[in-house]
Amino acid sequence: MENLEKQKMVEDLLPQQFGKQGKIWVAFLITLCAIGFIAYCRQLSKGLAVTAMRDYASWGIYISNFVFFVAISLVGSLITAVLRLTNVHWSTPLTRIAEIIAVSAITFASIIIIVDMGRPDRFYNLFLHGRLQSPIVWDVIVITTYFFISILLLYFPLLPDLQIMLKYKDRTSKWMYKLYGMLGSFWKNKPEQFKITDKAINILSITIIPVAFSIHTVTSWLFATTYRPGWDSTNFGAYFISGAFLVGAGGVIVAMYVFRSHYNLKKYITYDHFDKMGKVVVMLALLYLYFNVNEFLVPAFKMKKPEEEHLRGLFTGEFAPIFWFAIFTSMIIPIFILITKKGRRPFPAFIAGILVVIGSWFKRFIIVTPTLLHPFLPMRDVPASYHHYFPTWEEWAICIGSLAGALLVITFFARIFPIIPIHETITETEEHEHDKK
Amino acid sequence: MIKNNYIVILLLSFISVASIAQEAKSDLSLSIGYYNNNNLTHYLVAHAKTKIDGRFQTVPDVSISFYINNDSSKANLLGTATTNDKGEAVLLMPPSAKEEWKKSSKHSFVIVSKASKLYDEAKATADVSRAKLKIDTTDDKKIIVTVQELKDTAWTLAKGVELKVAIKRLDGDLNVNETQTFTTDSTGTITAEFKRDSLPGDANGNLTLIAKVEDNDTYGNLTAEKVVKWGNKFQYVSQFDRRTLFARRGHSPWWLELLAYTIVVSVWGVLIYLIGQIKKIKKLGV
């Protein structure tokens, strides 16, 4: 590869300043975060009474949001680890997108769980007095671990890129240059350094897979270890993981399209990437659909009395609109869009990705709340409002604020660091050219 | 004239409907049982039932008056009690009835419930001969139960009385051996062999034996109890500190602790090793 070509590639992939649209986007996200913060301040001062959560529906959209964040974070392990270990090279430009989605999602998963606690000042008690037998403690351990692995998996491949960015002092602001220096000034492109980095990435790729499986399996056990209609299932771990990979892959397609359009990366995130990611999403949607059929058909066939009310509520009752919306938008419509080659073009794939993400959020709501409103013992002598759950504006604001926060982290990351790995892309292009010769 | 006829017809219809409504009262069925526990406590239990949809069902909230011998005077009134959800009303024999009780070896108990909006007046009687049970044991774990009946002023042995001999347990009585019921012989006695070895007793190995005459037409319900040291000593062991999945903090099972800490240490060991590798990369770059 000629130096000029390399130069062009580097310049294409260097982080770019926010344009007008970028600034509006950031302002929009900051506004949502601020509204969420105000709502949270109200919750802190008035307590969880500002939410619609009551004795029965004690887990509302905060926990749905938490499960959604944990789910989407799994994409880091799918794109970076699973595809890397199976020697799939086309995913290289997508690894950093996947990793930053993982890091931001897992960060906000931790934040939203503290929001749900109502008394964050008591959070430390979880560490001081936690029971090792409790899946909640396992969740805390595994989320922390996954966060650090994701950070390392983001950092190691970034080292050669930091060294590249340090060469472009004129294109960076002073504080960013300092940051690059702090993080990667010691990188000298020495073969020994590459050797250590490659080894570290391989170790991380192997480590992250069981940890990623654990993180979402444990999250599913928060439900499955509780004896309630709709949660009492041995299928939950696999059901959650397949759903998590699906929403993560959908999220990556959305991010691919946005970065491709706004950072002019058409040369690097190609039709081929959309085509392949589209196929991955179809496969994952079919897999998740399979688990859904298992999850609902088996109890519906037996129709045990306590399950009956819950299932009727989902299929034809109070939650039917959300249930069918979630099933169709997160699985069935995306499958129909992405199963054709035309559907795997960037824009239709982007739409399918959006549907997957939105549908998956509502799917988490369907998993969490309806079960709580159908306890084994009938609800008696409680106010009418206890029989239903509709989130208050504070809950919506906090959840939307947290989603905006996660997007803000991704946006700022893409502003500071190259969203497509520069060094890896150059190396792979060179190897590809070499193979051609 | 026709108008007057209509009024008469209407009045007659009203009267007939009212009389039908009165006739719609249900029959209340009462029954009474006499109980003598350990020759110490005497009480009466009344049961109230009525037929609803062709089936007998218990009737709660029925006030029942209990009389001894007859219900002709207030002096014979033992007391009143109201039936509970199970249709049962219980009345302990009051001390004031002691003299009347001692007067004769045979008594009649009468229960009466007054007519109400729902039920007609109902009555039931039970004739009881005064009797008592005596329970004894031998060193070779045999239980001897004697039934005595008061005849005039003397206690005589009662033969041909069916009774049960059992051990009192938490949820019911356990027969002392495979024989379900015994019948007293000509000496008014039965002998039962205790065949429940290794049965847990209390902390001292105590078991409570019980002899019971149930629903006997002549004597009613009689029981007698005796505590014997024929059981195994039961030592309560607290499960509170056991290492289980449902135990408190710091008491998780060893296997879980081993598994969890091994995984945590292994994974974090790898992470710490990788952080060490960053330092190594740093050194190489200096």
What is the structure's pLDDT at A72?
93
Which residue has better confidence, B119 or B21?
A: B119
Mean pLDDT confidence for A325-347:
96
- Is A126's pLDDT higher than 70? yes
Does B40 contact A at CB distance below 8 Å?
Answer: no
Mean pLDDT confidence for A255-267:
92
**Residue B34 maps to a domain:** yes
**Residue B283 maps to a domain:** no
Amino acid at residue number A429: T
Give me the residue from A141, A152, A155 closest to B264, CB to CB: A141
Model confidence over B80-134: pLDDT tens digits?
Answer: 999 999 999 999 999 988 888 888 899 999 999 999 888 989 999 999 999 999 9
Q: Which residue of A has its CA nearest to B284?
A: A193
At which of B129, B163, B196 does a domain end? B129
**Residue A377 maps to a domain:** no
What is the structure's pLDDT at B214?
94
At which of B206, B228, B250 does a domain end? B228
Mean pLDDT confidence for A213-236:
92
**Residue B224 maps to a domain:** yes
d(CA A118, CA A54): 13
d(CA A351, CA A334): 8
Q: Which of the four pLDDT bands, split at 50, 70 and 90, describes residue B3? A: low
d(CA A170, CA A150): 30
- Is B207's pLDDT higher than 90? yes
Q: Which of the four pLDDT bands, split at 50, 70 and 90, describes residue B12? A: low
**Residue A231 maps to a domain:** yes
What is the structure's pLDDT at A91?
87
CATH of the domain at B63: 2.60.40.1940
Mean pLDDT confidence for A291-303:
93
- Is A97's pLDDT higher than 60? yes
**Residue A435 maps to a domain:** no
Q: What is the mean pLDDT of chain A?
A: 92
Q: Which helix (H) or strand (E) holds B123?
A: strand B122-129
> Cβ–Cβ of A152/B271 closer than 8 Å?
yes
What is the structure's pLDDT at A187?
93
- Nearest chain B Cα distance for residue A282, angstroms: 33
- Nearest chain A Cα distance for residue B259, angstroms: 11
Model confidence over B60-80: pLDDT tens digits?
Answer: 999 999 999 887 678 889 999
Q: Taking CB atoms and an 8 Å cutoff, what residues of chain A touch B258? A: none
- Is B259's pLDDT higher than 70? yes
- Which residue range(s) make up the domain with B31? 25-129
Which residue has better confidence, A392 or A87?
A: A392
Does B282 contact A at CB distance below 8 Å?
Answer: yes
Mutate which: A133, A150, A154, A208, vs B, most B CBs within 10 A: A133
Does A206 contact B at CB distance below 8 Å?
Answer: no
What is the structure's pLDDT at B2?
52
- Is A39's pLDDT higher than 90? yes
Question: CA of B262: how far to CAs of A18, A268, B220, B257, B268, in Å?
Answer: 47, 43, 70, 8, 10
- Is B24's pLDDT higher than 90? no
Question: CA of B129: how far to CAs of A38, B77, B211, in Å?
Answer: 85, 19, 18
Does A20 contact B at CB distance below 8 Å?
Answer: no
Model confidence over A4-36: pLDDT tens digits?
Answer: 788 888 888 999 889 999 999 999 999 999 999
Give me the residue from B246, B257, B284 closest to A132, CB to CB: B257
Model confidence over A138-156: pLDDT tens digits?
Answer: 999 999 999 999 999 999 9
At which of B177, B208, B228 does a domain end? B228
| pTM score over 0.90 | no
What is the structure's pLDDT at B185?
94
**Residue A206 maps to a domain:** yes
Percent above pLDDT 70 for chain A: 99
Q: What is the dihedral of CA B9, B12, B17, B22, to 10 degrees?
A: 180
What is the structure's pLDDT at A288?
96
**One domain, residues B36 and B97:** yes
- Nearest chain A Cα distance for residue B238, angstroms: 20
| Residue B266 burial class via C-beta count within 10 angstroms: exposed 0-12, middle 13-18, buried 19 and up | exposed
Q: Which helix (H) or strand (E) holds A401?
A: helix A393-416
**φ/ψ of residue B113, rounded to 5:** -120, 130
**One domain, residues B30 and B116:** yes
Does B279 contact A at CB distance below 8 Å?
Answer: no
What are B90-93's contacts with CB under 8 Å, separation 24+?
A: B90/B43, B90/B44, B90/B45, B90/B46, B91/B43, B91/B44, B91/B45, B91/B46, B91/B66, B92/B41, B92/B42, B92/B43, B93/B42, B93/B43, B93/B44
**Residue B275 maps to a domain:** no
Q: What is the mean pLDDT of chain B?
A: 89
- Which residue range(s) make up the domain with A284? 3-371+389-426
CATH of the domain at A259: 1.20.1630.10
How far, rounded to the nearest angstrom, does the alpha carbon of residue A208 sit from its chain's CA centroid?
15
CB A77 within 8 A of CB A249: no
**Coil, helix or strand at residue A311:** helix
**One domain, residues B108 and B136:** no
What is the structure's pLDDT at A81?
87
**One domain, residues B30 and B72:** yes
Mean pLDDT confidence for A194-210:
93
For tokens 């190489």, what's the residue? B284
Q: Taking CB atoms and an 8 Å cutoff, what residues of chain B touch A148? A: 271
Lookup: tokens for B80 = 């009143």
- Is A170's pLDDT higher than 90? no
Q: Which of the four pLDDT bands, split at 50, 70 and 90, describes residue A110? A: very high
Lookup: tokens for A105 = 């999602």
- Is A75's pLDDT higher than 70? yes
Specify the number of domains making up chain A: 1
**Residue B39 maps to a domain:** yes
Which residue has better confidence, B59 or A433?
A: B59
- Contact partners, residue B9, CB within 8 Å, separation at least 6: none
Mean pLDDT confidence for B160-177:
93
**One domain, residues B102 and B35:** yes
Q: Which residue of A has its CA nearest to B277?
A: A196
**Residue B261 maps to a domain:** no
In angstroms and rounded to an integer, the radius of gyration of the C-alpha atoms of chain A is 23
Give me the residue from B252, B253, B271 closest to A148, CB to CB: B271
What is the structure's pLDDT at A319?
94
- Is B21's pLDDT higher than 60? no
CB B12 within 8 A of CB B4: no
In angstroms and rounded to an integer, the radius of gyration of the C-alpha atoms of chain B is 35
Mean pLDDT confidence for A156-184:
91
d(CA A307, CA A366): 15
CATH of the domain at B137: 2.60.40.2470
Average the pLDDT over each of A251-260, A418-427, B16-25, B218-227 and give the range with the smallest value.
B16-25
- Give me the residues of B, 216-275, that contact A with CB < 8 A: 245-249, 252-253, 256-257, 260, 264, 267-268, 270-271, 273-275
**Coil, helix or strand at residue A220:** helix
- Is A337's pLDDT higher than 60? yes
Model confidence over A278-288: pLDDT tens digits?
Answer: 999 999 999 99
Query: ipTM score here?
Result: 0.88
- Nearest chain B Cα distance for residue A205, angstroms: 12
> Cβ–Cβ of B260/A204 closer than 8 Å?
no
Which residue has better confidence, A77 or B159?
A: B159
First vs last C-alpha separation in chain A: 12
What is the structure's pLDDT at B54?
85
**Residue B139 maps to a domain:** yes
Mean pLDDT confidence for A123-152:
90
Specify the number of domains making up chain B: 2
d(CA A38, CA A48): 14
